Every structure is written in structure tokens, then in C-alpha cells.
Structure 1
């Protein structure tokens, strides 16, 4: 089997399969990547973090980042590495597990709390959202009005824009130049 065919099957399995924990498998939240395909995770059963390894079939095909959820098989013989990742859980998988009441209560509030914090700062607060009365106006009036007023802007989360503060030093330099 060629590399591209293998990647295609692995990604298709990761997206389309419904993962249900079986025979001692546990759900874990990724804390950090330790390197050499080792990840530090917080298990649903243990309060301390443990190391899990990524199997060969996922390497260079599926990337895991911090705060993702994975399903792991326990490894009994190791002291440092105590599990192996068997599935990377996507949002659809998490919803499915919550629907079946198989999602651990330990992780129940972590995803929703982070999502609300991100969405809270996603829209710029200084520019108001369009009101419902504007949506009922005709298209011609909306086009004219959109040229005059600024519409709400979406803030780029990857770049922090420093807040502009007007101080008295700026006004002093303007007076000195005049």
C-alpha cells in the first residue's frame, strides 16, 4: 500500500468512525507534546498526568495539539509510558459520546468553558452589531448605509492589537510643532 493510500484510509477512519471506549480504554485530554511522538495527557481516571505514545499509523498523518481529546489503550508493562493513542476524538465524536452518556464528567465543562471564552473575545467590542431593524430595510438602503457606517469587524485572534491611548504628551508635541 502506498503512503498516500495509507494516509487516506487513516484519515477516513479517524473522521468517519464512532469511537466508544472498550476493554479498559480511557479518554484523555492532551496537555503537552513531549517529543518523539510522546504526549502528556490528563486521564479521566487519574489526577496526575501520564505519558502516552502515538502509534506509527498516526505519525505524519494526524496532528494532535494541546487541549485535544484522545482515546488511549493502557500499557501495563511500562513505568513511564502508560498508554497508547488509539483514536483522536473530534468534536463530532465528543458530541456522540455525550449523547450516549459515555463522556467523563471530569472533561464535561472544559470544552464549553474554553469555547465561550474564545467567542467572547472574537468579535470586537467597540463596534456594535447590526440591529434587527437594519435587516428589514431594503438592499439599496443597506448598501448606502454600509458605505457610511462601519460594519462589525472580526478580530484576528493570532495578532494582539495594542490599545491606542491618547495622552497629554501627544497633544504637547503637536502644540510644539505648530
Structure 2
């Protein structure tokens, strides 16, 4: 923990709990995906659908990050979170009121998402939550012909070209003179 500077006991243990705990949503909590950020710790989220029905016309809802997480935990687009519902108007379908309806209680990382999937608490039928569920696939380099594929990029390694190499212009290049006349005259004799 060297180099972290001074941190209070509260902030140190809050960071530890965010990174290492395995939270599970309670009755008033739901799993959501951050769609965009609005600034001032406000986020647009898509709440996971309950049951087998998936609403295709879902609109992003507004959520806020509590002050205890300020300058300690950062949330970016496409992150998954557990949110507490503030009022019951979203469950009844009453969308007249535009405002902050959710408060982020947990930020989910890869290990926490795996834990929720193993406990069958992860939304299964929702396409927003199936494909991107924190599973970043890193492909191993595969050799093809005379090239290498990293991710979606193909690098041709068949021809070696020195023109692509970096040339340091801060150093003077060594001037080498090859005298071909001396080698020709020695060969003739």
C-alpha cells in the first residue's frame, strides 16, 4: 500500500469493500447498466427487466452516485451497477415525473458479475445484459501465413522493411564510406 498517500480509515475500508465484497441485490435493489454520464455524479441507466418480459422501448432513467464514493470510485459508460429504487412510480409504469429515481449502491466488477451469475441473480433474457456482461475477450495472437493477428488488427511480418523503423534525428548518423575502387583493384591483381 505504499504510494497511496494518506487515506482515512473510512475511505480505505470503503475502497476495500467496493473492490472485494460480493454484493447481491435485495428486494428494493435492481441491476442496471450505465448508458451515459451527465456530470455531477449523475448517470443515465437502463434497469434490468424483471421476469421473462423485455421492454424494447425502455428509456434511460436517471441515477446518482452517493457522496461517499466521490473521488474514490469512478463509473463509466457500459459499467454495471446495483441501484436502489427511490420511489415505486417506475414499477407502476408512471413515467410523468422526470428526476432522480435511483441511487447507485454498488459498482459491479468482473468477479462480482461472475458471482451474481453463479447465484442466478443476473438478468438472463435481457439482451443488454447478456452480451456485454463484463466479459472482455482478449484474443491470443494467432499466426496466419506470415502475419500476426492481435484482436482485429493484422500485422504483416513477411517482408522486413527498415523504412518503418524509428530513426533518432537527435543523433548524427555515422557516415560510412565504402571504397569500391580499392576492392576492384585488389581483385584484378
TM-score, normalising length: structure 1: 0.62
Query: Is the aligned partner of 1:15 residue 2:26?
Result: no
Bigger fraction of residues in helix: 1
Aligned pairs for 1:99-138 within 5 A: 99-105=118-124, 106=126, 107-111=129-133, 115-116=136-137, 119=139, 122=151, 124-127=153-156
Aligned to 1:35: 39
How far does the alpha carbon of each residue in 1:49-86 deviate from its partner, in whole angstroms, 9 at most, with x for none?
Answer: 10001111111100001100000000118741110000
Do the aligned partners of 2:42 and 2:64 also contact (CA within 8 Å) in 1?
yes
Query: Is the aligned partner of 1:48 residue 2:59?
Result: yes
Equivalent pairs counted in the alignment come to 128
Bigger fraction of residues in strand: 2
Q: 1:75 aligns with which of 63, 86, 97?
A: 86
TM-score, normalising length: structure 2: 0.59
Moved more, 10-19 or 43-52: 43-52
Structure 2: give runs of 5+ residues left out of the alignment: 1-5, 50-54, 89-96, 140-148, 161-189
Higher alpha-carbon Rg = 2
CA distance in 2, matches of 1:111, 1:121: 22
Aligned to 2:166: none
Structure 1: give runs of 5+ residues left out of the alignment: 129-148, 150-178
